[in-house]
Amino acid sequence: MTVNYKKELESAAKSMILVHEADLLIKMIVRTIVQKVKVSHAGVLLQDKEKDTYILNFSRGAKGLRIPQGFARMDKDNPLIRFFGERKNKAFFEHGALVYKEAKKILDRDIPSDSKQLLRKVLYQMEMFDVQVTIPSYFREELLGVLLLGNKPRGKAFLREELDFFTALASDVAMAIRNAWLFKELEAELEKKHHLFIHTTVALAAAIDAKDHYTHGHTARVTKISIDIAKRLGQRIKEVSEEKFLEDLHIASLLHDIGKIGVPEAILNKEGPLDSEEKKKMQEHSILGATILQPIQELQRSILGVKYHHEKYDGSGYPEGLKSDEIPLIAAIIAVADSFDAMTSDRPYRKGLPVDRAVEEIRSLSGKQFHPLVTEIFCELYKEGKI
Amino acid sequence: MTVNYKKELESAAKSMILVHEADLLIKMIVRTIVQKVKVSHAGVLLQDKEKDTYILNFSRGAKGLRIPQGFARMDKDNPLIRFFGERKNKAFFEHGALVYKEAKKILDRDIPSDSKQLLRKVLYQMEMFDVQVTIPSYFREELLGVLLLGNKPRGKAFLREELDFFTALASDVAMAIRNAWLFKELEAELEKKHHLFIHTTVALAAAIDAKDHYTHGHTARVTKISIDIAKRLGQRIKEVSEEKFLEDLHIASLLHDIGKIGVPEAILNKEGPLDSEEKKKMQEHSILGATILQPIQELQRSILGVKYHHEKYDGSGYPEGLKSDEIPLIAAIIAVADSFDAMTSDRPYRKGLPVDRAVEEIRSLSGKQFHPLVTEIFCELYKEGKI
């Protein structure tokens, strides 16, 4: 093994710190060992923390070695795992590596019979995999994995210096893998927390939805249409293409009617058109929704969607009579989705419009009630059968 | 520098991968260099991503060197930062290290005047810090930091081999720091998401609270008392001491009355005692709350608190008439906090009890309505003035 290969492997091990995929890491290192060091084949037994087993990841190597059936996964009872997992067995191999030829000699020595039996099984496994050297790697006292090395060219023995190098490499890899795990765990936790947040918001929004007898499923439909519009709109407006915008819109559309919680049931459920006083109360829901969410720092952009989803492009909407580009885009998107769902839903005092008629109506109100570009995108999606 | 120190520094650099505190990391490495390599003093200029500056972190070293005023933080215009930040200047130093004595000679060479001017300023800074060698470290093309080394004993020059070693070390440290940053960012994101979830839940719960005219602030008070009880109870029951339990309880107490969203306003706001039909409707809120949250996988334990917070220890509660240990502890805790707040709050048809009378009432119902241990803890907290 020349010094160059060492450098290459060392630097691979270092850059692995920033590779946060344990599987990829292992494949990289095994491939590099086989290609650069000309070992016939190499493998890694890697701990699978969740399933409490070890997974075998072998290179085929020069000989095209295949893993015997049932050996891709080894549990804690497997001789190799047991042998390296038990502290006392460290006495049987020097400098962190178990070399087949040397271990064979130990069998002739006077050692406890249970150790002898275990070692015999380990050697049998090494024969089966045609492996000359096995190197365990630990994090603190925990066995993270075992590096398995095949044969050097022309059956030469591994040098002490080479074994030292592989031992150090194995410990680098162990560190990198542990780091990758920590990362993965943290990412999984983040994902979980995000789902918890969204699911809870969905559940509470649906419960509030249910208060308004005539709008069953309204929130879910508005949310879906809003997101669909934004995804397409993102092809034209950079700001909208950002994940943050989609997230804010998602929350805003889920919560756009949250203020209805403050509207009396008698008004929400009235069978017939509202008089002007009742209408005023009903219209308060948008500003009330914004008030409920106001203390939440992270929702400031979503709140714009909640507060202004009843503004109209020509300035005739509420609560502030904003017009054209004064209306935040997030609200302009919800406005179209919300109106479309309201138009197509039945009310006790009128039947809902057919979808094509509602789309026509929305198109005719482009630039009056609705943002022209948002309307255009909405109509485009309808034409493609996506509404 | 003996090989031993090298090993020590190398292994320090490796284990740093798992130290996710950049500041700590820097202190470790600087201290080790000064102590083991007997450099008079050493320092690190470390990028502060958020503030877009570099922070100087110096060891005092043997000479007790002090950082000149105003030099603890360097912005991007600082000569050292500019010099190492610009690609073209790499031509002026070999093998990744800028050595004062060698750089001095460059000034005599025919190089562009702007480079000469910048280098002159760099050398002036090195003189000011009494630094012989500076080693930049990068992640990809970005300057993460600069390692500054003082003098070797008896003013000897650094050997090429030593410089190579420090260059490799600096790159290890850069990798570790980048890793630490990524970790920190991820952790911060997780924290943010958690707050978003809690704050949104608080806001929605408060809005639902507001529907029930007589229970203003009820949810917040019940949540506080429940958490206080659990924190103390955790000293006696291991399960309760776990962070997961406290989190589940937090959510459960915030949402314990969420089902009231399905109770008609006429009943919620009735001025006077409820008749049996109304009472039945009102009592449905606990099971309704559980139904609303049921789809959320992560809330299964919190749901137990919502569903069973009106069960009584003797089996006379609702919705299922569970008794003693059949009642989940999370619900038994909320039951005490909820009842205490209800007892001490005014209703249109009766005044609330004084706090001491309410505590007495709860104590007298221990083992009948309330879980004995939870009651005991609650009374303990009251005695200590914490309720």
Between the two ends of chain A, the Cα-to-Cα distance in Å is 64
State which H helix or E strand residue A255 sits in: helix A243-255
Residue A1 pLDDT exceeds 50 = no
Q: Do A197 and B196 touch (CB under 8 A)?
A: yes
Is A210's CB within 8 Å of B262's CB? Answer: yes
Confidence of residue A18 (pLDDT cuts 50, 70, 90): low
pLDDT confidence of residue A213: 63
Within 8 A by CB and 6+ apart from A17, the residues are A175, A176, A179, B17, B175, B176, B179
What is the Cα–Cα distance from A170 to A98, expressed in whole angstroms? Answer: 13
Residue pLDDT, tens place only, B146-182: 999 998 888 888 888 888 888 877 877 777 777 888 8
Q: B83: which residues sit within 8 A by CB, 6+ positions away? A: B89, B98, B118, B119, B122
Question: Quick check: B234 contacting A, CB < 8 Å?
Answer: no
**Domain identity same for B370 and B228:** yes
B296 vs A contacts (CB less than 8 Å): 196, 199-200, 203
CB nearest to A261's CB, from B171, B207, B297: B207
Residues A373 and A310 in one domain: yes
The encoded tokens of residue A88 equal 């006392």
Are residues B249 and B330 in contact, defined by beta-carbon separation less than 8 angstroms? Answer: yes
Q: Please judge whether B172 and A261 are an interchain contact, meaning their C-beta atoms are less than 8 angstroms apart.
A: no
Question: Is B218 among the domain residues?
Answer: yes
Strand partners for A33:
none
pLDDT in tens, A325-375: 999 999 999 999 999 999 999 887 789 999 999 999 999 999 999 999 999
Residues B373 and B326 in one domain: yes
Report yes or no: A141 at the B interface, CB cutoff 8 Å: no
pLDDT reading at A13 higher than 80? no
Does pLDDT of A2 surpass 60?
no
Answer whether 0.95 is exceeded by the pTM.
no
With an 8 Å Cβ cutoff, is B352 touching chain A? no
Instruction: Give the confidence band of A7 by pLDDT, cuts at 50, 70, 90.
Output: low
- Assess if residue A377 is contained within a domain: yes
Residue B169: CATH number of its domain: 3.30.450.40
Model confidence over B269-322: pLDDT tens digits? 888 889 999 999 999 999 999 999 999 989 999 999 999 999 999 999 999 999
SS (H, E, C) chain B: CCHHHHHHHHHHHHHHHHCCCHHHHHHHHHHHHHHHHCCCCEEEEEEECCCCEEEEEECCCCCCCCCCCCCCEECCCCHHHHHHHCHHHHHHCCCCCEEHHHHHHHCCCCCCHHHHHHHHHHHHHHHHCCCCEEEEEEECCEEEEEEEECCCHHHCCCCHHHHHHHHHHHHHHHHHHHHHHHHHHHHHHHHHHHHHHHHHHHHHHHHHHHHCCCCCCHHHHHHHHHHHHHHHHCCCCHHHHCHHHHHHHHHHHHCCCHHHHHCCHHHHCCCCCCCHHHHHHHHHHHHHHHHHHCCCHHHHHHHHHHHCCCCCCCCCCCCCCCCHHHCCHHHHHHHHHHHHHHHHCCECCECCCCHHHHHHHHHHCECCCECHHHHHHHHHHHHCCCC
- Distances in Å between the Cα of A213 and the Cα atoms of A268, A354, B205 are 8, 21, 21
Q: What is the pLDDT of residues A317-332, one digit of tens each?
A: 999 999 999 999 999 9
Q: Is the pLDDT of residue B231 over 70?
A: yes
Name the residue among A374, A371, A350, A375 with its Cα closest to residue A362. Answer: A375
pLDDT at residue number B1? 47
As to burial, measured by CB atoms within 10 angstroms (0-12 exposed, 13-18 middle, 19+ buried), residue A62 is middle
Same domain for B242 and B370? yes
pLDDT tens for each residue of B73-104: 888 889 999 999 888 888 888 778 999 999 99
Residue B278 lies in a domain: yes
Which amino acid appears at position A377 of this protein? I
**A86 vs B379, which has greater pLDDT?**
B379
| Same domain, residue pair B117 and B245 | no
Range name among A229-233, A288-292, B8-12, B247-251 with the lowest pLDDT average: B8-12
Q: Do B16 and B173 touch, CB atoms closer than 8 A?
A: yes
pLDDT at A55 (0 to 100): 86
At residue B59, the pLDDT reads 72
**Contact residues, chain A, for B211 at CB < 8 Å:** 261-262
Highest mean pLDDT among A28-37, B166-175, B231-240: B231-240
Q: Which residues does chain B have within 8 Å of residue A197's beta carbon, measured at their own beta carbons?
A: 193, 196-197, 200
Contact between B295 and A190 using a beta-carbon 8 Å cutoff: no
Inter-chain contacts counted by CB atoms under 8 A, chains A and B: 115
Asked if B24 reaches chain A (Cβ–Cβ under 8 Å), the answer is: no
Task: Quickly state the pLDDT bin for B15 (edges 50, 70, 90).
Answer: low
pLDDT recorded at residue B17: 65
A240 in a domain, yes or no? yes
Whether B267 has a pLDDT exceeding 70, the answer reads: yes
Question: Is residue A43 situated within a structural domain?
Answer: yes
Contacts of A298 in chain B (CB under 8 A): 192, 195-196, 199
Q: Quick check: is A195 in a domain?
A: no
Task: Select the residue from A196, A248, A251, A294 to test the B interface by mutation, using most B Cβ atoms within 10 A.
Answer: A196
Residues A302 and A259 in one domain: yes
B190 located within any domain? no
- Final residue belonging to a domain, choices A168, A184, A200: A184
When divided into structural domains, chain A yields a total of 2
Q: Which of B6, B17, B263 to mutate to test the interface with A (most CBs of A within 10 A)?
A: B17
Kindly determine whether residue A264 and residue B261, on different chains, have CB atoms separated by under 8 Å: no
In a domain, B42, yes or no: yes
- Contact across the interface for B207 and A296, Cβ inside 8 Å: no
C-alpha B156/C-alpha B161 separation (Å) is 14
pLDDT at residue B214 tops 70? no
B216 has a chain A CB within 8 A of its CB: no
Q: What is the pLDDT of residue A6?
A: 64
Pairing mode, if any, of strands A133-139 and A98-99? antiparallel
Which has more pLDDT, B184 or B230? B230
Choose the mutation target among B6, B144, B169, B200 for the interface with A, i.e. most A CBs under 10 Å: B200
Convert A197-226 to b/e letters by CB count within 10 Å (16 or more is b).
Answer: bbbbbbbbbbbbbebbeebeebbbbbbebb
CB of A181 within 8 Å of any CB in chain B? no
Q: Specify the 3-state DSSP secondary structure of A56.
A: strand
Does the beta carbon of A97 lie under 8 angstroms from any beta carbon of chain B? no
What's chain A's average pLDDT?
87
User: Strand, coil or helix: what is A7?
Assistant: helix
How close A176 gets to chain B, by Cα (Å)?
Answer: 8
**Chain A residues closer than 8 Å to B298 by CB:** 192, 195-196, 199
- Do A259 and A163 lie in one domain? The reply is no
**pLDDT tens for each residue of B103-162:** 999 888 888 888 899 999 999 999 988 899 999 988 778 888 899 999 888 888 888 888
**A253 and A371 in a common domain:** yes
Confidence of residue A313 (pLDDT cuts 50, 70, 90): very high
Token output for A369? 């009630």
pLDDT at A292: 92
Q: Return phi, psi of residue B142, to 5°.
A: -90, 130
Which residues does residue B74 pair with via DSSP β-bridges, in sequence order?
B54
Distance CA B307, CA B289 (A): 7
- CB-based contact B175 A18, cutoff 8 Å: yes
The C-alpha of A125 sits at a distance from chain B's nearest C-alpha, in angstroms, of 32
- Collapsing DSSP to helix, strand or coil, A362 comes out as helix
Select the residue of A18, A190, A206 nearest B179 (Cβ to Cβ).
A18
Q: Which residue of B has its CA nearest to A171?
A: B14
Contact (CB<8Å) B14/A199: no
Residue of B193, B194, B211 to mutate, testing the A interface (most A Cβ within 10 Å of its Cβ)? B193
Nearest-CA neighbor of B309 among B335, B272, B333?
B335
Sheet holding A73-74, edge to edge: A73-74, A53-58, A42-48, A142-149, A133-139, A98-99
Whether A278 and A373 map to the same domain: the answer is yes
Closest C-alpha among B266, B199, B330 to residue A294: B199
Q: Write the residue in A14, A183, A200 that is nearest to B201 by C-beta.
A: A200
Partners of residue A183 in chain B, C-beta under 8 Å = 182-183, 186
The order of strands in the sheet holding B53-58 is B73-74, B53-58, B42-48, B142-149, B133-139, B98-99
Same domain, A149 and A43: yes
Residue B9, pLDDT > 50, answer yes
Q: What is the pLDDT of residues A141-155, one digit of tens each?
A: 888 889 999 988 888
Asked if the Cβ–Cβ distance from A175 to B14 is below 8 Å, we say: yes
CB atoms A295 and B199 under 8 Å: yes
Same domain, A224 and A364: yes
Instruction: Tell me how close the Cα of B12 comes to any Cα of chain A, in angstroms.
Output: 12
pLDDT in tens, B339-372: 999 999 988 778 999 999 999 999 999 999 999 9
- Taking a C-beta distance cutoff of 8 angstroms, is the pair A373, A240 a contact? no
Q: Tell me whether residues A197 and B199 touch, CB distance under 8 A.
A: no
pLDDT value for A61:
57
Question: pLDDT tens-digit profile of A89-141?
Answer: 888 887 789 999 999 998 888 888 888 999 999 999 999 888 999 999 887 78
B200 vs A: CB within 8 A = yes
State how far the Cα of A329 lies from the Cα of A361, in Å rounded to an integer. 21
A210 neighbourhood in chain B, CB within 8 Å: 261-262
Statement: residue A175 has pLDDT above 70 = yes
The CATH number of the domain where A358 resides is what?
1.10.3210.10
Disruptive mutation site among A200, A213, A302 for chain B (greatest number of B CBs within 10 Å):
A200
Q: Do B171 and A14 touch (CB under 8 A)?
A: yes
Nearest CA in chain A to B191: A190
At residue A116's C-alpha, the angle toward residues A113 and A117, to 5°, is 85
Q: What percent of chain B has pLDDT over 90?
A: 52
Mean per-residue pLDDT of chain B: 87
pLDDT surpassing 70 at residue B227: yes
Q: Does A358 touch chain B (CB under 8 A)?
A: no
Predicted local distance difference test score (pLDDT) of residue B66:
60
Q: Does A220 touch chain B (CB under 8 A)?
A: no
Whether residue A200 and residue B299 make contact (CB cut-off 8 A), yes or no, is yes
For the segment B313-343, what is each residue's pLDDT rounded down to a tens digit?
999 999 999 999 999 999 999 999 999 999 9
Q: Are A147 and A166 in contact (CB under 8 A)?
A: yes
Q: Is A265 helix (H, G, I), strand (E, B) or coil?
A: helix
A61-77 pLDDT, tens digit per residue, is 555 556 665 567 888 88
B82 and B224 share one domain: no
Q: Mean pLDDT over residues B240-265, rounded?
A: 94
- Which residue type, as a one-letter code, is found at position B266? A
Question: CB contact, 8 Å: B207 with chain A?
Answer: yes
Q: Which of residues 100-139 of A touch B (CB under 8 A)?
A: none
Owning domain of residue B30: 3-184
- Residue A12, H or E segment: helix A3-15
